[in-house]
Structure 1
Amino acid sequence: MIGKVISHFKILEKLGEGGMGVVYKAHDTKLDRTVALKFLPSHITANETDKARFLQEAKAAAALNHSNVCTIHEIREHENQQFIVMEYVEGVTLSEKIKSGPLELKTVIDYAMQIGEGLKAAHAKGIVHRDIKSSNIMVTEANQIKVMDFGLAKLRGSTKLTKTTSTIGTLAYMSPEHLQNKDIDARTDIFSYGVVLYEMLTGELPFKGDYDSALMYSIVNDDPEPVSKFRSDLSSEFMHIMNRVLEKDPEDRYQYVKD
């Protein structure tokens, strides 16, 4: 693909690959700007119903205009494969930042506020991300947060987890209700946001398991190790916030990010 021109985009380099597609850095020859192209797996739009659903979700995400959300410019198709043209974000993922250990409290607060602002903007438009995790969050050199992959967000409505959508979320970050095939809404993002917050503070994930079913059991049934076990610089108010965002029952969580 490198060097290939698709429409008016020249592919420059491969940026990454995951369950939801392959991402390339590209040059937009019409507007003379650098963009990222995400080519989606064919099963995402295997039939006209799936395709229409994807386009609806992508259209809603493209309407998001927020400094903490990666901007979607357009949706295109090449050789029957859909791809998303989006803002190119130069930086590292939050998961890469955390690899070297827990972050300083002031950094955690800064990043948490920015992630929260991005989620608040999405939820205000009825968009539930469903896949919030540290590897889906970019940090620029200027420490600006960009929440990625809102083009694959799940709009409120047909929100039940199915075999075809179960791979979308990464297990360790998924809410109990998501894992149990229950209706999900913005509160599932709040739980995943809590997992990311815990990870930033401790350098570890709150729920663990040697295999998928054990991890799923832990998320649904176990309480995580208190963050206070890992650090002593947190106020009681901060601890209360941590406990509440990770409540098993969505009714017991904060109902909105703005809370």
Structure 2
Amino acid sequence: MNHFGDIAEIKGMIESRDNIQSSKAQFQENSQTSTIISNRTIANYRLVEIRGTGGMANIYKAIQLSLDRPVALKIMHPHFHTNEAFITRFEKEAKRAAMLQHENIVSIIDYGCDNGEYYIAMEYIDGTNLNEIIRKQRKMPLEVALHVCHQVAEGLKYAHGMGLVHRDIKPGNIMLSYDGRVMITDFGIAKATGDSTITSAGQVIGSPSYMSPEQAAGRPTDHRSDLFSLGIILYEIIAGEKPFNGETYQSLITSIMSDYPTSLQEFRLDVTREIDELVQRALIKVADSRYQSAEEFSEAVMAQLSKFKVQSPRKMMAEYLKNPARTTEKLRADKISDHMESALYFLAVGQGKLAEAKREFLDVLRFDRNNKEAKKYLSKLEAQLPTEKTRAKLGDFRLNLGASYALVVVIIIMLSLVVFSLLPQGIDRPVDSIVEVVNPNGEKPQPNIVIGPTSILGQDQSLESDMLAKDVAGSGAGDFGRSLQAPSAGHRILVYDYPRQNIIRYGSVKIVTNVPARIKIDNENYSWSNGPLIKVLPGRHLIEASADGHKSVVRRIFLKTGQADTIRMDLEPKK
């Protein structure tokens, strides 16, 4: 595919570029004083007056004869009538713009050629363009500027969603109607996504002062180029001057591609940090780092505009166009009044709200730097509130103090964990004995029941049922949430004696002997043999089993954490 078009098209583009670059229309919209035209018609339209001119065409107010209504008629300059490339562009503008039906885009009514004159009939906007407002007022109130930007962003969101990039967003192409509408016009060099038949590679298209860096360099552009151009406009109507400047075409392009805009806060006291950051992001050189969609840009602008609490932005816009000076002063007075009212309220509340009161008084001074009442209250507040430097030091002190407290708490917790790990865990109460019920044939019912301190009953001592129940009940078994039922007649009870200790889950050992034997561990009486597991600390231990009429048996063991061993110790009768 030939992405460069034919030779005639390229030649026409180069010639037209030379014509445009040599005209003053590159740098500003060359709107002229309305010139009355009488008795001239083109097709179905009677020309009334010329409203403006540009590098490509003249704009007229005209009457559509068939419907007797006003329209804006765009008529191509005569010297382009033989330029096939421009005729193609002109026709594509009409067809593309005709697809767009949005409240922030000027509608296309008709397109045609009459006696060699090419024209586009558009919706007539009773108002002016943004370029005229800038020329007369230089800058706008913040809420008006944000409203204009938001409305243009909404129009671009729709156009981009339809696959159309404008590529010539500038003040002259933003119409402001006297009823408060903001509308984009002139899609003359608009480009459909993926369309490479209109523009040859490396060609610069657009108004230089409002070009994006990629556009100025002749690189491929997309919808984010329009957002950069809109960012330039927003900067200009807030600061009163463009972010990039140059006395020549080349110096201007160099500025766009290499210079960084001055902060808006250096131009106006009422510009907040958030608004400045919003505009600066729109003007980032790298397209991937600026706003990625008109929707994202629009939402960011609306977030700031909503802080002004404007009841009807369209009504505000209409009032501003009718009388810019009076509306500007009214908006300023309203903001001063609102901030002063909030400041006095916070001041009346007192401690806890004094910082908010100070902030509101400072906001008053943003719009009226000589406000005596705000200055008076601020001087009193300064004596009560710490300065920024003091707050910073206090904040550092609190931070360091907080860090110290946190460190102490961590150390205490760690020491507690260490101590806790060394203490016995598991059952809360020391256990002295394990009572085991044994039936006459030697079988032991399950489970074994651990109870609290009891008297030692002895190996073969028999009890009546009622006596057992009484003794066990008094032993504190209830503390463990379990009960011990009295055995039936003929059962005998073995009571294994333990030294007072906490049962901990470190290790356990079961001593099995051929005859019932007393067990000592590390020379301490523990229990009788053939009983349940004995819980002991891990490590080395000396175990001794002894029984009347039998020789004692001694064994050394090493027990690991979590280990459970069964040790067989047979006792021999004494001779």
Give 1:52 shift: 4.3
Q: 1:79 aligns with which of 105, 115, 119?
A: 115
Rounded to whole Å, the distance in 2 between the matches of 1:159 and 1:179 is 19
Rounded to whole Å, the distance in 1 between the matches of 2:99 and 2:291 is 26
| 1:43 and 2:80 aligned | yes
Cα distance change, pair 159–76 in 1 and its aligned pair in 2 (3 A): closer
2:189·2:206 contact (CA, 8 Å) conserved in 1?
no
Secondary structure class of the residue paired with 2:151: helix
Secondary structure class of the residue paired with 2:295: coil
One-letter amino acid matched to 2:182: I
Q: 2:61 aligns with which of 12, 22, 25?
A: 25
2:216·2:253 contact (CA, 8 Å) conserved in 1?
yes
Q: 2:196 aligns with which of 152, 158, 165?
A: 158
Encode CA deviations 1:79-111: one digit per residue, 9 max, x unaligned.
Answer: 223210001111121122123231101111211
Rounded to whole Å, the distance in 1 between the matches of 2:82 and 2:283 is 33
Match of 1:169 in 2: 206
Match of 1:10 in 2: 46
Match of 1:254 in 2: 291
2:106·2:184 contact (CA, 8 Å) conserved in 1?
yes
Give 1:174 shift: 0.4
Give 1:4 shift: 1.1
Give 1:59 shift: 1.1
2:148·2:182 contact (CA, 8 Å) conserved in 1?
yes
Point out where structure 2 has 5 or more consecutive residues left out of the alignment. Answer: 1-36, 297-575
What is the RMSD computed on CA atoms of the aligned residues?
2.1
| 1:109 and 2:169 aligned | no
Match of 2:3 in 1: none
Rounded to whole Å, the distance in 1 between the matches of 2:212 and 2:254 is 11
Cα distance change, pair 257–159 in 1 and its aligned pair in 2 (3 A): farther
Point out where structure 1 has 5 or more consecutive residues left out of the alignment. Answer: none
1:177·1:183 contact (CA, 8 Å) conserved in 2?
yes
Cα distance change, pair 36–45 in 1 and its aligned pair in 2 (3 A): farther
Number of aligned residues: 257
Give 1:70 shift: 0.9
One-letter amino acid matched to 2:95: K
Query: Which structure has the higher relative contact order (CA within 8 Å, separation 6+)?
Result: 1
Encode CA deviations 1:15-37: one digit per residue, 9 max, x unaligned.
Answer: 11110201111111111210011
Q: 2:253 aligns with which of 216, 219, 241?
A: 216
2:59·2:74 contact (CA, 8 Å) conserved in 1?
yes
Give 1:53 shift: 4.9
Q: TM-score, normalised by structure 1?
A: 0.92
Give 1:132 shift: 0.5
Q: 1:139 aligns with which of 150, 159, 176?
A: 176
Cα distance change, pair 208–53 in 1 and its aligned pair in 2 (3 A): closer
Secondary structure class of the residue paired with 2:232: helix
| 1:97 and 2:139 aligned | no
One-letter amino acid matched to 2:117: Q
| 1:178 and 2:218 aligned | no
Q: TM-score, normalised by structure 2?
A: 0.43
Which entry has the higher C-alpha Rg, 1 or 2? Answer: 2
| 1:63 and 2:99 aligned | yes
Cα distance change, pair 207–162 in 1 and its aligned pair in 2 (3 A): farther
